[in-house]
Structure 1
Amino acid sequence: MAVSFTRKRLYRVGSRPLERAVDDVKQLAEAVWFRGYRPTQAELERLRGVMPREDFQRALCVLELLSQYPVCRRDTARHLQQLTRLFHRELLGNDETPTQGRYSPSERWGLSDATAPLRKALLPLQTRNHADSTGRRHGLSC
């Protein structure tokens, strides 16, 4: 998947409420989890320059959400979490990420979007069977 296509997908994910962006989020998850897509800080800065603030926050919320799944490679998850913390601090003034248990990334990003439909849609992609069928390394790889 070309980076520019993935950047466009990230833009599309942020440009509408999450419950209406499920297919785009699934495609972004495939890119992050199985194709090695890792947005750079410069790439996200460019995206920030062309998106309304709430849309950009929504895109960051999705990246943070994707980093929480075990199927996300550890180095990729760490990278995404560092980027989202950086932007969270810049946009919202703090970077207090809950360290235990599940939390709602949408609430943390000040969004009213529901993430339950995304979590449900991502379930089939995060199984070991699906992850192994991609033929790529992933967070569940031995």
Structure 2
Amino acid sequence: MTVSFTRKRLYRVGSRSLECAVDDVKQLAEAVWYRGYQPTQAELERLRGVMPREDFQRTLCVLELLSQYPVCRRDTARHLQQLTRLYHRQLLGNDDTPTQGRYSPSKRWGLNDATAPLRKALLPLQTRTYADATGHRHGLSA
């Protein structure tokens, strides 16, 4: 998956409700978790310039969600969390990221999208067996 293709995937993820973007989110998860893709602030700024605000917030919501899984490498998770925190402050004026327990990224981003179908679809991609079979480093690597 090329960087250009992954940028397009970021756009597609945000352009539809999360329930309808499951396949695109799964492909983005593969790129982030197993191929080392880390969107840059410049990429996100370009997206911000061409996407409606709610769509951009949806993309950021997905990036934040992907950062929460143990299979996400620690450096990638930290990078995604810093980016999403920055944009959350810019777009919504605060950053109330809970530091403990589960929370709904979609609610935090002011979206009505349900994340349950997305989380269910991501489960098979984040098992140790699947992660090890990719042949790439990941957050579950020893």
- Structure 1: how far apart are the matches of 2:134 and 2:21? 23
Percent of residue pairs identical: 89
Equivalenced residue count is 142
TM-score, normalising length from structure 2?
0.99
4+ residue runs of structure 1 moved beyond 6 angstroms?
Answer: none
Q: Give SS of 1:97's match.
A: coil
* 2:35 paired residue number: 35
Q: Deviation of residue 83 (structure 1)?
A: 0.0
In the alignment, is residue 120 of structure 1 matched against residue 120 of structure 2?
Answer: yes
Q: How does 1:1-142 map to 2 (within 5 A)?
A: 1-142=1-142
**Unpaired runs of 5+ in structure 2?**
none
Q: Give SS of 2:39's match.
A: coil
- Structure 1: how far apart are the matches of 2:42 and 2:96? 23
- Structure 1: how far apart are the matches of 2:70 and 2:9? 22
RMSD over aligned CA atoms reads 0.4
Q: Deviation of residue 96 (structure 1)?
A: 1.3
**Unpaired runs of 5+ in structure 1?**
none
TM-score, normalising length from structure 1?
0.99
- Structure 2: how far apart are the matches of 1:95 and 1:74? 21
